[in-house]
């Protein structure tokens, strides 16, 4: 019997409408995995991975506030606010716990969720991301926000494309590049700018030592946006984490190499299951 994803929406505690998709699994005991998208994009970036993972995993994807088809309400954003949105979404769909994977901005939100709701996190995958963009981050991200306001998002698409995907991928898959570029270009400028400020202000480093669930860190070898050095810092700060560097890939590895990302996610879920089987039973 064919299984189809369920698209829905819900209201956060501050009345912001978020859109989500729930992909049911064939097995009632399948692990649950939530996927969080990068800055300026939407849950659509996970469609290629979802087509593979949904055969074995119950999946939840969504559009963060100010992104995609979710409500575009420009206001001061924070990773803590985005993490609260995720917790409330989990309440809405009836998930008490989940594994979480986030790419780029999504990885920052995932780290914030790990810090705020550790009891709800089963395992964590941080893809093409960082805990901190460095001391110059507020200024550099502020400049990006200003550029979006003054020159428009269309002026940034070509530059973004070279950071998202390798030259080989862009040449071989122009329709995919066009699809992702269209999602980026359709953003609300003020919401995009607010998210840029959030990224510049984000410093998740204090949370990392407290993460005790299985963690996989994945990065493209040629990622210019969040280079390998940033993933190495995550790996060093999170005890027991694994680090996978994907050759010749850039920043949006879930799109450029979905098979590899799925292999990493499924491996993480297997580690989570193994860890759970070894955990002492509560008396």
Tens digit of each residue's pLDDT (9 = 90 or more) over 104-153: 999 999 999 999 999 999 999 999 999 999 999 999 999 999 999 999 99
The three-state (H, E, C) secondary structure of 139-154, written as one string: HHHHHHHHHHHHHCHH
Return the residue matching tokens 């999602």: 183
Rounded to an integer, the average pLDDT of 185-189 is: 97
Q: Supply the pTM of this predicted model.
A: 0.96
pLDDT value for 283: 41
Q: Is the pLDDT of residue 280 over 50?
A: yes
Confidence of residue 68 (pLDDT cuts 50, 70, 90): very high
Rounded to an integer, the average pLDDT of 216-231 is: 98
Confidence of residue 2 (pLDDT cuts 50, 70, 90): very low
Structure tokens at 43: 């849950």
- Own/partner pairs, 87-92, CB within 8 angstroms, 24+ separation: 87/113, 87/116, 87/117, 87/120, 88/10, 88/12, 88/13, 89/10, 89/18, 89/20, 89/60, 89/62, 90/34, 90/60, 90/120, 92/10
Structure tokens at 276: 């759970």
Q: What percent of the chain has pLDDT over 70?
A: 97
Structure tokens at 84: 């609260």
Is residue 102 within 8 Å of 35, Cβ to Cβ?
yes
Neighbouring CB atoms inside 10 A of 197's CB total: 17
Confidence of residue 3 (pLDDT cuts 50, 70, 90): low
Question: Could you tell me the domains of the chain?
Answer: 6-133+203-277 (3.40.50.1820)
pLDDT value for 134: 98
> Max CA-CA distance within the chain?
62
- How far apart (Å, rounded) are the C-alpha atoms in residues 225 and 273? 32
pLDDT value for 188: 97
Rounded to an integer, the average pLDDT of 273-280 is: 83
Confidence of residue 268 (pLDDT cuts 50, 70, 90): very high
Rounded to an integer, the average pLDDT of 204-220 is: 98
List the one residue out of 67, 138, 79 whose CA is nearest residue 114.
79
């Amino acid at each position: 019997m064919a299984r189809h994803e369920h698209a829905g929406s819900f209201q956060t505690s501050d009345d912001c409408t978020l859109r989500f998709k729930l992909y049911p699994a064939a097995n009632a005991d399948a692990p649950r995995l939530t996927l969080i998208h990068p800055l300026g994009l939407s849950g659509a970036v996970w469609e290629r991975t979802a087509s593979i993972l949904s055969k074995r995993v119950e999946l939840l994807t969504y559009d963060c506030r100010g992104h995609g088809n979710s409500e575009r309400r420009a206001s001061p954003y924070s990773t803590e606010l985005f993490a609260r949105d995720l917790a409330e979404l989990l309440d809405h769909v009836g998930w008490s716990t989940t594994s979480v994977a986030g790419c780029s901005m999504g990885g920052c939100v995932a780290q914030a969720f790990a810090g705020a709701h550790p009891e709800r996190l089963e395992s964590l995958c941080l893809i093409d991301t960082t805990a901190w963009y460095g001391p110059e981050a507020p200024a550099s991200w502020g400049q990006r926000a200003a550029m979006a306001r003054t020159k428009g998002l269309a002026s940034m698409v070509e530059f973004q494309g070279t950071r998202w995907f390798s030259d080989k991928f862009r040449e071989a898959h122009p329709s995919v590049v066009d699809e992702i570029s269209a999602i980026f270009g359709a953003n609300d400028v003020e919401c995009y700018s607010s998210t840029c400020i959030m990224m510049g202000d984000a410093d998740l480093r204090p949370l990392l030592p407290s993460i005790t669930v299985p963690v996989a860190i994945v990065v493209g070898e040629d990622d210019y946006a969040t280079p390998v050095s940033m993933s190495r810092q995550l790996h060093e700060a999170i005890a027991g984490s694994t680090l996978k560097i994907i050759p010749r890939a850039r920043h949006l590895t879930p799109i450029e190499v979905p098979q590899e990302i799925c292999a990493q996610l499924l491996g993480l879920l297997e580690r989570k299951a193994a860890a759970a089987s070894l955990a002492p039973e509560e008396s």
